[in-house]
Structure 1
Amino acid sequence: MTQVSALYQSRSEAGQIRPDPAQQAVLPEFDRIAQGLMAPPVKRGLFRKATREEVKGLYLWGGVGRGKSMLMDLFVDSLDGIPARRVHFHAFMQEIHAKMHEARQSGVQDTLAPVAKEVAESVRLLAFDEMQITDITDAMIVGRLFESLFEAGVTVVTTSNRVPDDLYKNGLNRQLFLPFIDLIKEKMQVWEMVSPVDYRQDRLKGSPVYFSPVNADSRAQLRAIWEDLSGGDAQPLTLEVKGREVVLPGFRNGVARASFYDLCGKMLGPGDYLAIAEEVKVLVLEDIPRLSRSNFNEAKRFVTLIDALYEAQVRLICTAAAEPEYLYVEGDGAFEFERTASRLREMQDKDWGQDG
């Protein structure tokens, strides 16, 4: 097994990583966890079964684009032979709810217990990307779930944009959630990564983010940006919003990819777009068509989507049939679209969204 610090150093020397003091400062924490996971089981007493020492995890938080997910990927890649899983936190919780539903169908009383046992038996390390809790159903089970995982010897490493005390902030019945925050502080080293550089924005700086018209060349440019930002290893992400499913066909490290039809051709509303804006830091949106009375409903949804992205400071990268001012030139809503066109133009600025 290669130490994360050594892997970071070699990739820095190869020009694959730009050395960053904030990133380098947390590397010993990853090395500590790896060393603990590699330690052999300890036998305490003649007739006792050998058990593994508990390894304290890591809660790595800080602003977007600071390299938290990159470091976690590097860490997981270095864990040779250790059963580990790297998964987006939201997707993991969806799996937990689905498995609890299956257990409920089979008549199990405590549906969480067998699900937690199954997870614990499959991994020694869980690496979560972007821990955030906004859903009450997640908030009500996450404490018991993690308590079971920790008791079974599972180590957890997670990234987040929020300090633990801000998780599920202002949520319904939040007092019931507070013991989970205490559990995080007990079982995980809380580390704030402070860096002046937003690498995600930095990679886009100076690059166009609005490509028009839609043709082979603009699609190729968009695809190249997507490959660069996602690392070529994206998975679909399903968001549950008031019982509905909103699917982002591609998602990795806060960067999502979808077509205009995926988000505006379906019966989605403001709540759905707010959920997307909450989850996504960069949206790669393909094939925005010309808008008119013939696709009036899609146009209205697009306006709502842009409003949600704009307010949440989500970076938009897209291909479109025309420049913003010429996307919607006739039909009901053309006048109101002027504000959307102005926002689309503002969102192209190289410094836009850096405070988000």
Structure 2
Amino acid sequence: MSTPRLVERHPELGSEELVAALAPPPRFDGVRLDNYVPNPEEPSQAEAVARCREFVSEIGRGTSRGGSWLRALFGRGNRKTAGEDGFRPGLYLDGGFGVGKTHLLASMWHAVEGPKAYATFVELTNLVGVLGFGEAVRRLSEHRLLAIDEFELDDPGDTMLVTQLLSKLTEAGVRVAATSNTLPDKLGEGRFAAVDFLREIHAMAERFTVVRIDGPDYRHRDFPEPPEPLGEDELVELAHRTPGSTLDDFGELCAHLQRVHPSKYGRMVDEVTAVHLSGVHAAPNQSVALRLVALVDRLYDRAVPVRISGSSLSALFTEEMLAGGYRKKYLRALSRLTALSRELARS
């Protein structure tokens, strides 16, 4: 009996499934503000926890100053623009990868009594594409909190879409919490003509109070280096011996990722116990590299371990890629992939 392959999976998600899935991934089911352990050498981490508690308390007290979804959609409210009186409806957790930003974001989501929504940035933009802008505003305006993980702007269309969406939602009283490796007024920098969209970027940035979280990547604190790639025969044997696992040729998987929308990658790896990738090599281009980042994020969310053959993980992204505007995304992916590769002991 052959081992299942990810390239054989073609997940489809309807609008109702997308809405129902607006919750933190399984890895973060048990996270809470109380079990976030700040690094004593990094005071900003304890400060971030305190700011998150304050944000949650504000939501609990109903200090969102909002209106109805109709007001948000048609712009007929009399509320001040965010920032005019110092009020910020959003909390933005900024910092390097591996400092626990997603832990804090999911913890806030758990702490707030619903209705509430949680999505990665790519899942949010896809939701708007499926529902339509007006329907997305209507549904999300019913929530007290929208948590957005991996907030980023990779193209001008996303800049305009998210600026308008956050404007409508915050006018409707929705509080927004987000994580990113980039300050909100620097989003899109080095990736497209951000100077042409500074007005929109700055308008969005004004809606957030920024909390900086410093520190080293906890995933690599006092841990050994990732295991070396396996031999081809050993990889195949381990894939066959691991119930619920998949085995794919890396090049074929890269091609498959270009045919599947990144918002469906989570469904593609649901119920997979381990991923085995044969013949790993450098991503052929930036488009594939970014889709690999999205796949690694969904594997990490679901704690799906990874075994590979071929080149080492450090060769996945070229030096040119690591020197470009997506450097932080690639480094985060390598950090998470390294952690996942440790989760299966070599046998």
Q: Which TM-score applies when normalising by structure 1?
A: 0.56
Percent of residue pairs bearing the same amino acid type: 21
1:298-325 Cα distance to aligned partner (Å, 9 max, x none)? xxxx899944267444244459xxx9xx
Change (3 A) 1:289 1:148: same
- Equivalent of 1:308 in 304, 317, 321: 317
Aligned-pair distance for 1:245?
3.5
Name the SS for the 1:162 alignment partner: coil
User: In structure 2, what is the equivalent of residue 96 of structure 1?
Assistant: 128
Match of 1:152 among 167, 172, 185: 172
Task: Give me the whole-angstrom Cα distance separating, in 2, the residues matched to 1:139 and 1:181.
Answer: 7
Aligned runs of 1:1-356 on 2, under 5 Å? 8-9=33-34, 11=35, 17=37, 19-20=39-40, 21-40=43-62, 56-79=89-112, 81-100=113-132, 112-121=133-142, 123-195=143-215, 197-202=216-221, 204-205=223-224, 208=227, 210=229, 213-214=234-235, 215-216=237-238, 245=261, 248-249=265-266, 258-260=275-277, 270-276=285-291, 279=294, 280=296, 286=306, 288=308, 306-308=315-317, 311=322, 312-313=330-331, 314-315=334-335, 316-317=337-338, 318=341
Q: How many residues align?
A: 251
Whole-angstrom CA distance in 2 between matches of 1:23 and 1:189: 16
- Which whole-Å CA distance do the structure 2 matches of 1:261 and 1:134 have between them? 30
C-alpha offsets along residues 53-109 of structure 1, whole Å, 9 cap, x if unaligned?
A: 976321111110011111112222222x23222211111111111222xxxxxxxxx
**CA RMSD, Structure 1 to Structure 2 (Å):** 4.4
The 2-side partners of 1:67 and 1:42 are apart by: 26
Distance change in 2, residues 1:251/1:98 (3 Å): same
Kept in 2, the 8 Å contact 1:23–1:71? The answer is no
Shift of residue 40 of structure 1?
4.9
Is the contact made by 2:38 and 2:45 (CA closer than 8 Å) also made in structure 1?
no
Amino acid at match of 2:285: P
CA contact (8 A) 1:87 1:127 kept: yes
Letter aligned with residue 60 of structure 1: L
CA–CA distance in structure 2, aligned partners of residues 190 and 251 of structure 1: 34
- Partner Cα distance (2:64, 2:166) in 1: 23
The whole-number CA distance in structure 2 between the counterparts of 1:303 and 1:18 is 32
Maintained 8 Å contact 1:277/1:309: no
CA contact (8 A) 2:280 2:308 kept: no
**Contact 2:154–2:192 under 8 Å retained in 1:** no
Cα distance in 2 for partners of 1:287, 1:139 equals: 36
Residue 6 of structure 2 is matched in structure 1 by none
Contact persistence 1:83–1:124 (CA under 8 A): yes
With over 3 angstroms needed to count, the CA separation of the structure-2 counterparts of 1:306 and 1:83, relative to structure 1, is same
Measured in 2, the distance between the counterparts of 1:274 and 1:148 equals 33
How does the TM-score come out when normalised to structure 2?
Answer: 0.58
Local SS of the residue matching 1:260 = strand
| Change over 3 Å in CA distance of 1:83–1:90 after alignment to 2 | same
In the alignment, the residues of structure 1 paired with residue 260 and residue 226 of structure 2 have an alpha-carbon distance, to the nearest angstrom, of 36
Query: For residues 83 and 127 of structure 1, what CA distance do their matches in structure 2 show?
Result: 12
Which residue does 2:28 correspond to in 1? none
Partner of 1:347: none
Between Structure 1 and Structure 2, whose CA radius of gyration is higher? 1
Task: Check 1:142–1:35 CA distance in 2 against 1; reply closer, same or farther (3 A cut).
Answer: same
CA drift at 1:189? 0.5
Q: Any unmatched runs of 5+ in structure 2?
A: 1-31, 66-78, 246-255, 323-329
Instruction: Say if 1:250 and 1:258, in contact at 8 Å, map to a contact too.
Output: no
Q: Which structure dedicates a bigger proportion of its chain to strand?
A: 1
Residue 104 of structure 2 aligns to a residue whose secondary structure is: helix
